[in-house]
């Protein structure tokens, strides 16, 4: 087991020399390429080479849909595909790429009753129209945007190519437009690189964010502790945090004390403290009334003092 692993590692590092290789047959890389060896596929790549089929890594050129399971296969999705030459267009070879859909479906919707769709997908090159032909198992997704909207490269169509060959001025204008577009793309790419360079120090930005979160959490804990010490407010509306402007405005307000109402309240308290029927306790009742009135004044004064402190 260990020997097999070390042999594979040596093969991947290009230090393995097969028995068939000889220095007279050229370099080792040239010899391995002639055998069709590739690290990703290994021997599986050339399993059907006698039939003209080579296993490659195929990338979907545009968004398509599987006709069996309805899965959208987006542009850039990669598959292990069988590459085969199926014809010629003048001097250009026509290639066919076949693969299978790997979407997980129910056995009823599968092509062979298994867990995956396994629909055979076949795509052929179409050099006549500078495009790809969906031969089997696929349909192209209709998209309303063009290459200008997506800001991607656009191949020159045959009509434009003929016009460029016939009209030198049109060729110069198109060349200038392409150069301007390339310059704009380079400027945008440079801006993106600068932005990425600013955010490259992920550790530093992480420290800044964590420090800001710690400060905010400590402030919230301090406010919660102050609210807990003060107790619940006498109304259910939440109060906004205090600021210096509110303090200055509150200090500028002067409250006027209504002394007449205070005297009426004191006299009423004195009368309420006097006895109604017992005349023998007149002096004692008078003293009690005076004490009640004095206590009333002290309570009123302390209440006013608390209001002033709370406002300031």
**120 phi, psi to nearest 5 deg:** -75, 125
Cα–Cα dist 78/137, whole Å: 16
Residue 149 predicted with pLDDT over 70: no
Higher per-residue pLDDT: 40 or 54: 54
Residues 216-238, mean pLDDT to the nearest whole number: 82
Cα–Cα dist 129/146, whole Å: 17
For the stretch 164-176, pLDDT in tens is: 888 889 889 988 9
Residue 200 predicted with pLDDT over 60: yes
**127 confidence band (pLDDT: 50, 70, 90):** very high
Class of residue 87 by CB neighbours under 10 A (exposed 0-12, middle 13-18, buried 19+) = exposed
Residue 101 predicted with pLDDT over 90: yes
Residue 302 predicted with pLDDT over 50: yes
3-state secondary structure 213-261: HHHHHHHHHHHHHHHHHHCCCCCCCCCCCCCHHHHHHHHCCCCCCCHHH
DSSP E strands, the chain: 53-59, 64-66, 72-73, 78-89, 92-100, 120-126, 131-136, 138-140
Percent of the chain's residues with pLDDT above 70: 78
Higher per-residue pLDDT: 219 or 289: 219
Q: Which residue has the tokens 């007279």?
A: 24
Residue 2 predicted with pLDDT over 60: no
Domain boundaries, the chain: 1-26, 36-142, 153-198, 266-312
């Amino acid at each position: 087991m260990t020997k097999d692993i070390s042999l594979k590692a040596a093969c991947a590092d290009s230090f393995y020399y097969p028995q068939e290789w000889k220095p007279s047959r050229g370099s080792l890389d040239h010899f391995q390429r002639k055998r069709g060896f590739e690290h990703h596929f290994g021997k599986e790549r050339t399993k059907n080479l006698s039939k003209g089929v080579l296993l490659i890594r195929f990338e979907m050129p545009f968004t398509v849909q599987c006709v069996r399971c309805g899965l959208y296969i987006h542009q850039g999705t990669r598959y292990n595909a069988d590459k085969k030459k199926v014809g010629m267009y003048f001097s250009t070879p026509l290639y066919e790429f076949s693969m299978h859909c790997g979407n997980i479906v129910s056995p009823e919707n599968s092509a062979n009753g298994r867990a995956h769709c396994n629909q055979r997908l076949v795509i052929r090159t179409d050099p006549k129209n500078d495009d790809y032909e969906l031969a089997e198992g696929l349909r192209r997704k209709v998209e309303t945007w063009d290459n200008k909207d997506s800001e991607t490269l656009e191949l020159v169509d045959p009509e434009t190519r003929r016009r460029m060959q016939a009209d030198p001025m049109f060729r110069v204008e198109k060349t200038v437009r392409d150069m301007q577009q390339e310059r704009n793309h380079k400027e945008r790419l440079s801006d993106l690189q600068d932005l990425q360079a600013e955010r490259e120090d992920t550790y530093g930005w992480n420290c800044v964010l964590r420090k800001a979160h710690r400060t905010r959490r400590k402030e919230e804990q301090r406010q919660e502790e102050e609210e807990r010490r003060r107790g619940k407010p006498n109304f259910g509306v939440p109060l906004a945090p205090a600021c210096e402007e509110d303090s200055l405005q509150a200090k500028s307000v002067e409250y006027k004390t209504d002394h007449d109402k205070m005297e009426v309240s004191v006299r009423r308290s004195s009368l309420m403290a006097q006895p109604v029927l017992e005349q023998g306790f007149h002096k004692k009742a008078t003293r009690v009334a005076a004490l009640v009135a004095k206590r009333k004044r002290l309570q009123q004064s302390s209440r006013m003092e608390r209001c002033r402190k709370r406002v300031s």
